[in-house]
Structures are given as structure tokens and as C-alpha cells.
Amino acid sequence: MTTDLHELLRSLRVWDPEVTELPVFDPATAPAAPLALFTQWFAAAVAAGQTEPHTMSLATADAEGRPDVRTVMLHGADTDGWSFATHAGSRKGRQLAARPYAALGFYWPVLGRQVRVRGPVTAAPSGESQADLHARSTGALAAALTGRQSEVLGSVEELAEASQAAWERARREPEAPVSSWTVYRLRAEEVEFFQGDARRRHVRLNYRRTGGDWARELLWP
């Protein structure tokens, strides 16, 4: 039996009221800086039962300007920026070295909300990156020790063997260093908050950095 993709797409609903609550968002009540609002919205997504609310899309571009995107995990957000981590030699690591600018996208469908962040990216010092890695799970360390991210893989058996060796070392040496592991921090120049509306009167509040302050503006949906 062949699946008709177009028919399947037409059968899907956006923001099904059985599983989605669309809160009222008054942009006039928003704080002066985006981090506070992001924290509020993130906490609301967690409270609403959003699955993996800390996952986000990370968009970068290579040296020729060709875009790329993938899903990664948010490691933190503070006044210095939004943080994520990867191997410096991975595809995204190489792209950030060539073009140190990126965009992040969060989508929390349980509340009909999106947050978009973009700005320049810098790499944290090695000590901070290693501390980030060793604060995570044994599995995370094993994955980092396996390494070779984005390289061509010869076979699934090769991966299984390398992964098993990495797991054994991670259990044996929980502080094992991984020199390529790097925390990256995106310093936001723009942060947009999108609140969906059932009548498609979506609210879009955009923050733009202007020197040391933030300008706020509404955008047409």
C-alpha cells in the first residue's frame, strides 16, 4: 500500500484544541529584555507538558553561504547568550568557524508558541566546555568520546565497536577529556516571540538589540 503524502498532509490539523491551548499574549506586558520572556515561556512549556522543550533547530551556513539546519539541545541561556555544544570538527563546528553567525528556532506546539533567535556565535574557553561535558550523563560522555561526528561511517558494526569502547572508558574515567567538545554561545541581536491565535491573528513580538538596550516592535503575522 502506497502512502499519498499530499492526502496525508491535508488530513492533519494545526493546534488541535484537544491537545493545544493557545494562551492570550499581550505584548504590552512583555519585559524590556527578551531573556526574561524566554524564561517565562520556557517554564510555561515545561509546565504544559511539552515534550523535550529544550530541543531547538540550529541553522548555520557553510563557507559558500549554503544553509544547513539540525536539531540540538539548549545547554543554557543567560545575559551572555543562548548556549549549545558540539565537536569543533563536526559539520556545524566547521561552519561556525567559517561563518560565526547562527539562528535558533524553538517550537512548543502545546501552546502554539515559537521563539526565534539569531546573532553572532563565539566558542567558550576549553575549561568551560569540558565542565559542560562532565556535568552531563555517562552516555553523553561516551558519545563525545566516540567522536568523528559528521565523518563518513564505514558500517554500523564499526560504530557499535567504537561506541562500546567509549562507554567502557566513560564509566572508567568519568572526567576523561574530549578536546574537540566545544560550548558555543549565541549572543542575540534579534529575538522574536510568536504566539499562535485560532483566528490566525498571531502575535509576533520582535526584540532588536540597539547598543546596550532592546527595541521592541510588533510584526504582521
Average confidence (pLDDT) per 10 residues, the chain, 221 residues: 90 90 96 98 98 98 96 96 96 97 98 98 94 90 88 92 92 92 97 96 97 95 96
CA distance readout (Å), 188 to 79, 114, 142: 10, 16, 31
How many Cα atoms occupy the beta-carbon half-sphere of 12 within 13 Å? 8
Question: Quick one: pLDDT at residue 148?
Answer: 86
Question: Quick one: pLDDT at residue 149?
Answer: 86
3-state secondary structure of 71: strand
pTM: 0.92
Q: Give the containing element (helix H, strand E) for 57.
A: strand 55-61
Question: Quick one: pLDDT at residue 199?
Answer: 93
In 87-184, which residue ranges form alpha helices assigned H by DSSP?
A: 91-98, 126-134, 138-146, 156-172
For cell 491537545, what's the residue? 19
113 vs 46: CA distance, rounded Å: 12
4 vs 214: CA distance, rounded Å: 47
Question: Quick one: pLDDT at residue 8?
Answer: 94
Q: Give the containing element (helix H, strand E) for 66.
A: none
Question: Quick one: pLDDT at residue 164?
Answer: 94
Question: Quick one: pLDDT at residue 13?
Answer: 87
Question: Quick one: pLDDT at residue 160?
Answer: 93
